[in-house]
Chain A
Amino acid sequence: MSNHDIGKLAEPEEKVYTTLNLGPTHPATHGIFQNVLKMDGEIIVEAEPTIGYIHRAFEKLAERRPYNQVTPITDRLNYCSSPINNMGWHMTVEKLIGAELPKRVEYMRVVVMELARIADHIICNSVIGVDTGAMTGFLYIFQWREKIYDIYEQICGARLTTNIGRIGGFERNFSDKVWSLIDDFVRDFPKGLTEFSNLLERNRIFMDRTINAGPVSQKMALEYSFTGPNLRAAGIDHDVRVMNPYSSYQDFDFTIPIGTQGDVYDRFMVRQQEMWESLSIIKQALKNIDRKSPVFSGDVPEFVLPEKAEVYNNMEALIYHFKIVMGETEVPAGEVYHSVEGGNGELGYYLISDGGRTPYRLHMRRPCFIYYQAYPEIIKGSMLSDAILTMSSMNVIAGELDA
């Protein structure tokens, strides 16, 4: 018997790996997507993502829908910040038909969109906490998300999939209750956010867990065309609100927080800081909005429903009412791209119209789809726990990923 047979250690290439199916239903995947991981103990050797579990063919659906009816589809993209998706779509159509909106409406949109951004970041950051095992911070900060949802509810009647606003403005003016709810939120939220920050930001275990976990370099982020907080965490100050202002964002004074090495902690901190910035934007907008003004939509009669009294007494109003309700509004032919800074990155709508009542083709640039392409590369060689944290800190939402 030769020595080779006794106590021979496995060579690296002879290693036996385990396959672990992370998902489609796993408590840590926020939505339904699967990762087939090749594991060496706790270390991930290879990851292969599977997507499409909740693909609902939104882009195809949009081709058969009148413009107003595409809005509910956009709700279901990133359902943590539906209002931003809704208003991004409205602005795209407005760009196509060349509608100009009054400042008041644009500021009202800014208020709602920044509230949505705060809600989105609340979910992402608190879930990072949950995935590190800190449940309490999650429950503390979630009360504030409820308050934001109360505001949505007062504006449009819905909480999660809001379908808020219309092409050309809002469906109705903000009531006094809405203004008072927003005032309360702006007044009280700093307390809640500070409490949450105190729980996690300087927590030794939390920092150990998140610093250097799932880092994304600037080069990699740019190559994968990352946007939003994930790109800013890598240290690149790109923000659609500043680079390509829409809805009067140029009127507001705010800073773009950036990170240094794009790890989970940086992404967390960038989002934390963005919540403060959003709050400041809301304050600025509130200062400049005339609350008593009756203007809540622009002069876009072919998309904004006229008052009922008008409909009963006025020929044109009756015609527009009929055309809007039946979805028969004709839109000029054209090609337009419009993007907004969504909750987790640049959400773009590329719309081609060949005239008629429905889009000819609509493509949605969904940031989650792009982040998820980079996910296997980011988690390669890291531990399982880090992979989970990376996923939650990139805020990959299955609804937006699969569309």
Chain B
Amino acid sequence: MLRKFSYLIIAAWVLLALFGFAIGPSANEVNLNAFLQAPSSQAFLGTDELGRSVWQRLILGAQTSFLVAAGVVFFSSIIGTAIGIYSGYTGGWVDRIVTKIIDVFLAFPGLLLAIALAAVLGPGIENVVLALVVVGWVGYARLARAQTLSLRHREHIMAAKVLAVPQWRIFGRHILPLLLAPLGVEATFGIAGAVISEAGLSFLGLGVQPPDASWGNMIKEGTRYLLVAPHLVLAPGLALMLVVLAVNLIGDEWRDRLDVRQRTRGH
């Protein structure tokens, strides 16, 4: 039941993000005569403090969060995995240096570092992605390194080495396919983290700028009108909660499926 619900939420999120391209600039048009209207037949989720449709802005917010999540996970995973595999496979002083760098990044609160970076780089969606990638690659690197350490002495890799297969090909064809499953699980949690972090940065005014919509800045703007128009916070807040919950549930499910011990116990 929960599984179906999670996949349904994610499908809706992706559809909303795609639908965002069809909305166009009408979502940003200010209507001076329709400030803070409650949900009605004319406005499905009501209007915001500038008379704009909350439903349309929710869709644009879904697009923003989806693009940020996809961008962050894509770049973080590529960078982190590449560094992790190389470090684990090479070993020696390279591995020791990379491990120390990873430890330093892990010791620092991720969101705090992203806030500092976003503040230095300036507000904007590209800078949000960049800031989150800078803190996000570490998780993938640590996982990829640990997995590579356990894989590098396997027979098929030793055989490839003996046959003088180039290192990049060993990485790509003999190690990476075996890492995809755990990395996929890590990516699901990465998506949830990126969605929350983007909302957090936008809430702090470091994310997307007006008139662009993001769930984070919708919540931020809505908190000022909590007493008079609670729908401004409820709509993006619920959307954010559902997406993060669904992505986390899917991640949990995939992790359980890949866990050999749990599967054995099940049999």
Whether A associates with B in a native complex is: no
